């Protein structure tokens, strides 16, 4: 939202534009071909009046029509028409091709950046705005490429070629005609100056209007209960009125300086041409064809100016969009770096946290000097209420965030040194809210693991006991998942997520409140699956229901970033501390929110 | 054309602008006919060597006069026609907003915010375009096209006009054919784009899973192939799109050729002069735009009609609560619930049955129960978000609540909703929402009672701090307390807290409740809560389950009953104890 209002300085605009233009470099050939077509079509365009001129002056005025000459002229006329049409087509197509390819590359760059951004970025930036960078903003740039740059190029060539032809026909008159140039430039400059201002005002007012409207819809209940309909309606109407006034200012400005003004100049240009040739005809010979051709070129000179001037505002908006996309691509909040020493690997799966201190914002430590060890095959459970730091431990272990103090080791090696691939393959994480992707049940278990056989997919599902419910689905493994798996129960979704993790056969298993959202009917099933999954794997588990971690080799009770208690279930019950109270609470009353 | 009939009221209202605008368009069309004629005359004078300084002077002055006059008229018709269309947008937007503000929550339940927004933005835009560009295109193509055509036929040659017009229908046919192709292709391109959009959305939402499995590369590849599809579909559109210009050029080229070929013959026959031929070809160039405008017109009207129908549908929707009233005064007294059965529209499950209790004036009522037990439903009926089956189901001061004017009924309530919605405005404006003219002392007093004053003071801009999307982000508890202050500032006859203390801690809750008790003697309070402690001081506590009352009484009575209230109260008390022992532990650790 906050980016809606910002305007770019001239230098920023230039920088963004240059960077955008660099994206065309890989498509040099297309660009060249497009230019070539543009040149040919422009030449064909200016040739037509020239041919007509020859026809009028050489044959029509004298009234002589040698058959072969006329035939040739007709052939050339049609040839020029065909070449003009074909090259125009090619030229338009090639420039659009270029635009779409450039935007595709820009989108791909932005998307791959998303993969490299750290969770820190996603904490701060709402998902919707990231998506909008990639889609809406890039779409605005497409508009600019097609609507502005291509039109601008064409217009430029047309203006130049018309001028050249005018110079060819009559040097002196062309020179006279040049005086319109500074007038037009001046008009456009004045227009730019005021319209940029009016346009951004009108835009701002429109976005205020929409914000008021959205807020009105969302908060209508409050507005009504407090009897404030009338007041807010008045506020809305006031902005609406302002918006109308700015629109009218825009209409007036357009009317004063755009088409009406340019058209007036073009009629004045006709007056100039006619008086020039008229005066010339008193002393010498002026042919009808030349007058005709000159008028045609003058006409061609004005039309593109009309087109370009109306698209200038799109241009500015697109540059703002482009700068936002580039800001995403340049964002420094990337994921923690992995040194990736190829000799390192995860073998036994011994996990150690050594004096780890961590803070999200650099001010408040959410983990303070945490040390613990999980021996290969052991299960360590992390317990504590919201904000105690248990999720942060997992976030660090999964390398979602970089930590500054202390060390996290797997099999005695720093997790910073392990190759990324090794980390991803040997560590399996099950989240509280299993994310189900668009696709089938099979594709959700397999994800992007292409060399996994269908047998392995089925085996993973069977292992976590997901096979029973999957087989009941229409089309079983190829059953289409709708709307993020909303047709499945939370337990079924979690089972799919289990299978997804088990299919990788990880060495270390991380359970981030894997049973928190499960309804009690399926809980027992899930619990059995979880037990099987933990066998032979080092497991770090965050649990909500204490009943699920009673068998853990070690239970760590966290409180405000510190380890408050640790030990086995029996030991902690005996000590009679926090864990004991929590356990009583859950067992006695069954409910804890 | 139907849309023009439907917009009749507007054209009637703006008949002056439109009449003047169209007369000016006519004038422009006529003025535009002059330069080609002048060109022809001058060329003829030149070729026949009859041009004199005087004649030339006259023509040049005529042209300059035409240029200036056209400029002025063009400027004004824009203001007339586009101005009127912007006024239409303004009117429709205001009406729609008014309609929205009159509709009950039932209306909002059935519709998505996005759709309601779209009516006020895209749909109004489309209708506005119909009344502006639509009128312009049809007037222009009929007036300019007709004027040019007639002039060509009358002043030069009807035969030549007819001959050169032969290729032009081809342009109309081809471009409208392209238009259809384009539409279809555009839909496919749009679909591919929205798949790419969905993919992006999914990737961002599932970023944690992707990172966990290390599938960034593959995800990237997936995106690439989807983006290839977008390019491919768009290029198909481009292939058609790129046809427009060459087609128009070629057709015009054909007409051109015909006009020169047959025109040349007529020049030789001396039926027309060379100057007239040049005039003729210039007019020919002027026919392109009116023909294209005709195609645009149909497009604009089609979209405008669909949009206007959607807007009309909303405007004609009836409110599902009645707005007739019989009693002029605001209600006062006891509130009696006697609901036999009630179901929300289109929702069979969340209903109420056999509710019977009375809230005496000045009493504090507590309503507790599980999520979905019907606590909020009672509040919503009391606020008349929906109407009960029988008018007498809820009585206020001895009369059915629907006997009062809605405004008067609502003026009795200070309501704090569950979802603490705040407006994008300063904290002060949010608290003084019911009356922006309230003085600062009243506002800060309400904030003090809601235990939010100190928090507000700690913000950089104090009460001037802007909240909401564009302002500071507040915690849920802070938002709740501000919305409590918003209700308290009214000093309402009936204060309704609909689970509005859920996000504040127990201690703060206790203080707010104590503040309320002392500040609101003699006034009615209705409190729904998940936490039993929020209602334990109430004069009457109602326990709800599955839409009906299962326990009722004071805290003491309900504890003696040993039922749901008793169990839940104890469990929550134990939890409190645990939290405070955790706090103690931390404090000990800090020493």
Rounded to whole angstroms, how far apart are CA atoms A283 and B91?
64
Residue B472 lies in a domain: yes
In whole angstroms, how far apart are CA B218 and each of A112, A548, B158, B226? Answer: 10, 35, 69, 12
Name the domain boundary from A330, A361, A390: A330
The B494-498 sheet, strands edge to edge: B413-416, B494-498, B524-529, B364-369, B540-545, B548-553
Query: Within the 92-151 window of chain B, which residues sit less than 8 Å (CB to CB) from chain A?
Result: 93-94, 97-98, 100-105, 108, 113, 116-117, 120-121
CATH number of B312's domain: 1.20.1560.10
Question: Do B6 and B31 share a domain, yes or no?
Answer: yes
Question: Do A255 and A383 share a domain, yes or no?
Answer: no
Phi, psi of B522 (to 5 degrees): 80, -5
Annotate B64-88 with three-state secondary structure: HHHHHHHHHHHHHHHHHHHHHHHHH
Alpha carbon of B212: minimum distance to chain A alpha carbons (Å): 6
Give me the pLDDT at residue B591, please.
Answer: 38
Instruction: Tell me the DSSP string of B81-146.
Output: HHHHHHHHHHHHHHHHHHHHHH--HHHHHHS-HHHHHHIIIIIHHHHHHIIIIIHHHHHHHHHHHH
Q: pTM of the entire structure?
A: 0.79
Q: Which residues of B touch A592 (CB under 8 A)?
A: 575
Q: Is residue A462 exposed (0-12), middle (13-18) or buried (19+ Cβ within 10 Å)? A: middle
Among candidates A386, A381, A390, which has minimal Cα distance to A567?
A381
Rounded to whole angstroms, how far apart are CA atoms B180 and B174?
10
Question: Do A120 and A200 share a domain, yes or no?
Answer: yes
Residue B324 lies in a domain: no
Among candidates B575, B570, B503, which has minimal Cα distance to A385?
B575
Contact (CB<8Å) A97/B411: no
Rounded to whole angstroms, how far apart are CA atoms A516 and B561?
33
Residue matched to tokens 């209409």: A251
Strand, coil or helix: what is B379?
helix
Query: Within the 329-368 window of chain B, which residues sit less than 8 Å (CB to CB) from chain A?
Result: none
User: In angstroms, how far is CA A71 from the centroid of its own chain?
Assistant: 57
Q: Is residue A345 exposed (0-12), middle (13-18) or buried (19+ Cβ within 10 Å)? A: middle
A329 at interface of B, judged by CB pairs closer than 8 A: no
Alpha helices in A219-287 (DSSP H): 220-225, 229-257, 259-283
Residue B329 lies in a domain: no
Name the domain boundary from A330, A360, A393: A330
B556 at interface of A, judged by CB pairs closer than 8 A: no
Question: Do A250 and A115 share a domain, yes or no?
Answer: yes
B202 at interface of A, judged by CB pairs closer than 8 A: yes
Residue B452 lies in a domain: yes
Rounded to whole angstroms, how far apart are CA atoms B514 and B519?
9
Name the domain boundary from B443, B460, B490: B490
pLDDT tens sequence for chain B (591 residues) = 788 999 999 999 999 999 999 999 999 999 999 999 999 999 999 988 899 999 999 999 999 999 999 999 999 999 999 999 999 999 999 999 999 999 988 888 788 787 888 898 889 999 999 999 999 999 988 999 999 999 999 999 999 999 999 998 888 889 888 888 888 888 898 888 888 888 888 888 888 888 888 888 888 888 999 999 999 999 999 999 899 889 988 998 999 899 999 999 999 898 999 999 999 999 998 888 888 888 788 888 988 999 999 999 999 999 888 888 889 889 999 999 999 888 877 665 558 889 999 999 999 999 998 877 888 889 989 999 888 888 889 999 999 999 999 889 999 999 998 877 888 889 999 999 999 999 999 999 999 999 999 989 988 889 998 886 555 667 778 889 999 999 999 999 999 999 888 778 778 888 999 999 889 989 999 999 988 989 999 999 999 998 899 999 999 999 999 999 999 898 888 777 776 666 665 555 443
Where b means 16+ CB within 10 Å and e means fewer, A569-589 reads beebeeeebbbebbbebeeee
Question: Do A304 and A366 share a domain, yes or no?
Answer: no
Question: Do B473 and B500 share a domain, yes or no?
Answer: no
Question: Do A44 and A174 share a domain, yes or no?
Answer: yes
Query: Within the 215-274 window of chain A, which residues sit less than 8 Å (CB to CB) from chain B?
Result: 215-229, 231-233, 236-237, 240-241, 243-244, 247-248, 251-252, 254-256, 259-261, 263-265, 267-268, 270-271, 274
Question: Do B539 and B403 share a domain, yes or no?
Answer: yes
Q: Which residues of A touch B191 (CB under 8 A)?
A: none
User: In angstroms, how far is CA B494 from the centroid of its own chain?
Assistant: 33
Give me the pLDDT at residue A4, please.
Answer: 41
DSSP state of A418: S
Output the CA torsion sign for B150, B156, B159, B163: negative
Residue B471 lies in a domain: yes
- Which among A223, A260, A448 has CB closest to B218? A448
Q: Is residue B438 exposed (0-12), middle (13-18) or buried (19+ Cβ within 10 Å)? A: middle
Query: Within the 362-421 window of chain B, which residues sit less than 8 Å (CB to CB) from chain A?
Result: 383, 385, 407, 410-411, 413, 415, 417, 421
Residue A358 lies in a domain: yes
Question: Do A69 and A209 share a domain, yes or no?
Answer: yes
Question: Do A299 and A382 share a domain, yes or no?
Answer: no
Question: Do B61 and B127 share a domain, yes or no?
Answer: yes
Q: Which residues of B touch A233 (CB under 8 A)?
A: 94, 97-98, 101
Alpha carbon of A451: minimum distance to chain B alpha carbons (Å): 13
Contact B300, B134 (CB under 8 A): yes
Question: Do B308 and B350 share a domain, yes or no?
Answer: no
Query: Within the 7-66 window of chain B, which residues sit less than 8 Å (CB to CB) from chain A?
Result: 35, 38-39, 42-43, 45-47, 49, 51, 53, 56, 59-60, 63-64, 66
Question: How many C-beta neighbours within 10 Å does residue B316 have?
Answer: 8
Question: Do B571 and B460 share a domain, yes or no?
Answer: no
Half-sphere exposure of B372 (CA within 13 A, CB side): 5
Rounded to whole angstroms, how far apart are CA atoms B453 and B449?
8
Alpha carbon of A232: minimum distance to chain B alpha carbons (Å): 9
Question: Do B260 and B310 share a domain, yes or no?
Answer: no
CA of A435: which chain B residue's CA is closest? B206
Question: Do A261 and A386 share a domain, yes or no?
Answer: no
CATH number of A78's domain: 1.20.1560.10
CA of A248: which chain B residue's CA is closest? B83
Question: Do B399 and B467 share a domain, yes or no?
Answer: no
Residue B37 lies in a domain: yes
Residue A422 lies in a domain: yes
CATH number of B362's domain: 3.40.50.300
Contact (CB<8Å) B260/A237: no
Interface test with A, best of B14, B185, B202, B213 (most A CBs within 10 A): B213
CATH number of A494's domain: 3.40.50.300
Q: Which residues of A touch B116 (CB under 8 A)?
A: 217
Best-predicted range by mean pLDDT among A144-148, A390-394, B453-457?
B453-457
Q: Which domain holds residue B255?
A: 158-271
Determine which of A136-140, A412-416, A586-590, B169-173 has the lowest per-residue pLDDT on average: A586-590
Among candidates B465, B520, B112, B89, which has minimal Cα distance to A214?
B112
Contact B83, A250 (CB under 8 A): no
Give me the pLDDT at residue B453, please.
Answer: 94
- Which among A77, A255, A428 has CB closest to B74? A255
Residue A341 lies in a domain: no
In DSSP terms, which residues pair with B541 in a beta bridge? B366, B553
Q: What is the complex's ipTM, to 2 decimals?
A: 0.86
Question: Do B503 and B584 share a domain, yes or no?
Answer: yes
CA-based R_g, chain A, Å: 36
Residue B417 lies in a domain: no
Q: Indicate the number of domains in chain A.
A: 2
Question: Do A248 and A367 share a domain, yes or no?
Answer: no
Q: Which residues of B touch A576 (CB under 8 A)?
A: none
Q: Indicate the number of domains in chain B.
A: 4
Residue B530 lies in a domain: yes
Contact A336, A359 (CB under 8 A): no
Among candidates B356, B351, B350, B338, which has minimal Cα distance to B552?
B356
Question: Do B512 and B459 share a domain, yes or no?
Answer: no
Question: Do B96 and B185 share a domain, yes or no?
Answer: no
Q: Which domain holds residue A558?
A: 351-589
Q: Which residues of B touch A213 (CB under 8 A)?
A: 97, 100, 117, 120-121
Name the domain boundary from B472, B490, B508: B490
Question: Do A321 and A359 share a domain, yes or no?
Answer: no
Contact A271, B60 (CB under 8 A): yes
Output the CA torsion sign for A390, A395, A398, A401: negative
Extended beta strands in A445-535, E state: 480-481, 508-512
Question: Do B93 and B124 share a domain, yes or no?
Answer: yes
Between B446 and A463, residue with greater pLDDT: B446
Rounded to whole angstroms, how far apart are CA atoms A517 and A511?
13
Question: Do A314 and A179 share a domain, yes or no?
Answer: yes
Contact (CB<8Å) B385/A592: no
């Amino acid at each position: 939202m906050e980016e809606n209002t910002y305007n770019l300085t001239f230098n920023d605009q230039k920088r963004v534009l240059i960077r955008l233009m660099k994206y065309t470099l890989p498509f040099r050939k297309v660009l060249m071909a497009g230019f070539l077509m543009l040149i040919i079509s422009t030449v064909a365009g200016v040739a037509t009046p020239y041919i007509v001129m020859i026809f009028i002056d050489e044959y029509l005025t004298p009234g002589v029509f040698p058959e072969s000459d006329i035939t040739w002229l007709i052939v050339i006329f049609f040839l020029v028409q065909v070449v003009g049409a074909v090259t125009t087509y090619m030229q338009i197509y090639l420039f659009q091709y270029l635009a779409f390819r450039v935007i595709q590359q820009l989108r791909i760059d932005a998307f791959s950046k998303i993969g490299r951004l750290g969770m820190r970025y996603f904490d701060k930036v709402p998902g919707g705005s990231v998506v909008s960078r990639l889609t809406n903003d890039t779409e605005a740039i497409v508009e600019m490429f097609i609507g502005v740059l291509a039109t601008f190029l064409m217009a430029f060539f047309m203006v130049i070629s018309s001028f050249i032809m005018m110079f060819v026909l009559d040097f002196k008159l062309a020179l006279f005609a040049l005086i319109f140039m500074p007038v037009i430039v001046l008009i456009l400059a004045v227009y730019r100056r005021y319209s940029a201002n009016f346009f951004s005002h009108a835009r701002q007012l429109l976005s205020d209007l929409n914000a008021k409207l959205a807020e009105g819809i969302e908060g209508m209940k409050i507005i009504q209960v407090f009897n404030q309909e009338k007041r807010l309606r008045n506020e809305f109407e006031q902005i609406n009125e302002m918006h109308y006034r700015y629109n009218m200012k825009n209409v007036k400005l357009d009317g004063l300086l755009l088409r009406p003004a340019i058209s007036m100049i073009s009629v004045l240009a006709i007056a100039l041409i006619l008086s020039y040739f008229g005066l010339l005809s008193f002393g010498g010979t002026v042919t009808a064809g030349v007058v005709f051709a000159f008028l045609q070129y003058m006409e061609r000179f004005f039309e593109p100016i009309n087109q370009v001037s109306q698209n200038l505002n799109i241009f500015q908006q697109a540059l703002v969009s482009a700068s936002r996309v580039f800001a995403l691509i340049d964002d420094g909040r990337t994921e923690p770096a992995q040194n990736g020493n190829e000799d390192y690997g995860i073998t036994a799966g011994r996990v150690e946290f050594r004096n780890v201190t961590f803070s999200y914002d650099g001010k408040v430590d959410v983990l303070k000097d945490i040390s613990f060890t999980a021996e290969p095959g052991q299960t360590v459970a992390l317990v504590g209420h919201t904000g105690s730091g248990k999720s942060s431990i997992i976030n660090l272990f999964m390398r979602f965030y970089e930590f500054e103090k202390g060390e996290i080791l797997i099999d005695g090696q720093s997790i910073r040194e392990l190759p990324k691939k090794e980390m991803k393959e040997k560590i399996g994480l099950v989240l509280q809210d299993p994310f189900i992707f668009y696709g089938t049940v099979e594709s959700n278990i397999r994800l992007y693991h292409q060399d996994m056989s269908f047998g392995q997919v089925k085996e993973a599902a069977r292992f976590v006991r997901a096979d029973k419910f999957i087989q009941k689905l229409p089309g079983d493994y190829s059953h289409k998942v709708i709307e993020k798996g909303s047709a499945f129960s939370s337990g079924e979704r979690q089972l799919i997520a289990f299978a997804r993790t088990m299919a990788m056969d990880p060495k270390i298993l991380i359970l981030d409140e894997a049973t928190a959202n499960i309804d009690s009917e399926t809980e027992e099933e899930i619990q059995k699956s979880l037990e099987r999954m933990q066998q032979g794997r080092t497991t770090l588990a965050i649990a909500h229901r204490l009943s699920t971690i009673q068998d853990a080799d070690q239970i760590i009770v966290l409180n405000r970033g510190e380890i408050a208690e640790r030990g086995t279930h029996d030991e902690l019950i005996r000590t009679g501390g926090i864990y004991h109270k929590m356990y009583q609470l859950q067992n006695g009353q069954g409910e804890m929110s | 054309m139907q849309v023009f009939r439907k917009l009749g009221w507007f054209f009637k209202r703006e008949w002056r602008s439109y009449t003047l605008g169209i007369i000016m368009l006519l004038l422009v069309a006529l003025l535009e006919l002059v330069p080609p004629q002048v060109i022809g005359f001058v060329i003829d004078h030149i070729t026949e060597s009859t041009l004199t300084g005087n004649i030339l002077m006259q023509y040049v002055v005529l042209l300059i006069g035409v240029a200036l006059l056209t400029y002025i008229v063009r400027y004004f018709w824009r203001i007339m026609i586009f101005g009127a269309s912007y006024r239409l947008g303004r009117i429709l937007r205001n009406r729609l907003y008014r309609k929205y503000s009159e509709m009950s929550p039932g209306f909002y339940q059935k519709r998505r915010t996005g759709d309601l927004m779209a009516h006020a933005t895209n749909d109004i835009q489309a209708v506005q375009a119909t009344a502006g560009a639509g009128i312009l295109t049809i007037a222009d193509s009929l007036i300019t096209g007709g004027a040019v055509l007639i002039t060509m036929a009358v002043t030069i040659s009807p035969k030549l006009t007819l001959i050169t017009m032969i290729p032009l229908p081809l342009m109309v046919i081809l471009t409208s054919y392209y238009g259809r192709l384009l539409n279809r292709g555009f839909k496919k391109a749009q679909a591919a784009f929205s798949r790419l959009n969905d993919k992006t959305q999914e990737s961002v939402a599932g970023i944690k899973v992707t990172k966990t499995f290390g599938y960034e590369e593959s995800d990237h590849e997936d995106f690439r192939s989807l983006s290839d599809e977008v390019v491919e579909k768009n290029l198909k559109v481009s292939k058609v799109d790129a046809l427009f210009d060459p087609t128009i050029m070629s057709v015009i080229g054909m007409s051109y050729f015909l006009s020169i070929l047959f025109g040349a013959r007529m020049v030789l026959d001396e039926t027309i002069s060379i100057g007239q031929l040049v005039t003729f070809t210039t007019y020919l160039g002027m026919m392109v735009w009116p023909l294209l405008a005709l195609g645009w017109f149909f497009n604009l009207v089609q979209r405008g009609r669909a949009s206007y129908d959607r807007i009309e549908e909303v405007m004609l929707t009836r409110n599902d609560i009645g707005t007739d009233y019989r009693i002029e005064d605001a209600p006062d007294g006891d509130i009696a619930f006697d609901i036999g059965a009630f179901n929300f529209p289109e929702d069979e499950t969340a209903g109420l049955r056999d509710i019977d209790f009375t809230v005496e004036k000045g009493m504090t009522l507590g309503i507790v129960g599980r999520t979905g037990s019907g606590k909020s439903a009672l509040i919503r009926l009391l606020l008349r978000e929906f109407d009960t089956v029988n008018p007498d189901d809820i009585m206020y001061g001895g009369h059915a609540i629907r006997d009062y004017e809605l405004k008067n009924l609502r003026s009795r309530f200070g309501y704090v909703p569950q979802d603490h919605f705040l407006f994008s405005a300063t904290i002060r404006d949010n608290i003084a929402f019911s009356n922006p003219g309230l003085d600062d002392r009243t506002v800060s007093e309400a904030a003090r009672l809601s235990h939010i004053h100190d928090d507000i003071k700690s913000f950089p801009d104090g009460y001037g701090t802007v909240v909401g999307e564009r302002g500071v982000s507040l915690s849920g508890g802070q938002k709740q307390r501000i919305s409590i202050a918003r209700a308290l500032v009214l000093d309402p006859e009936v204060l309704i807290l609909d689970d509005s203390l859920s996000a504040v801690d127990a201690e703060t809750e206790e203080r707010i409740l104590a503040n309320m008790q002392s500040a609101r003697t003699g006034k009615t309070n209705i409190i729904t809560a998940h936490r039993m402690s929020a209602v334990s001081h109430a004069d009457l506590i109602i326990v709800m389950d599955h839409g009906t009352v299962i326990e009722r009484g004071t805290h003491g009575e309900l504890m003696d009953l040993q039922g749901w209230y008793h169990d839940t109260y104890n469990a929550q008390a134990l939890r409190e104890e645990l939290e405070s022992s955790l706090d103690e532990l931390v404090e000990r650790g800090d020493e």
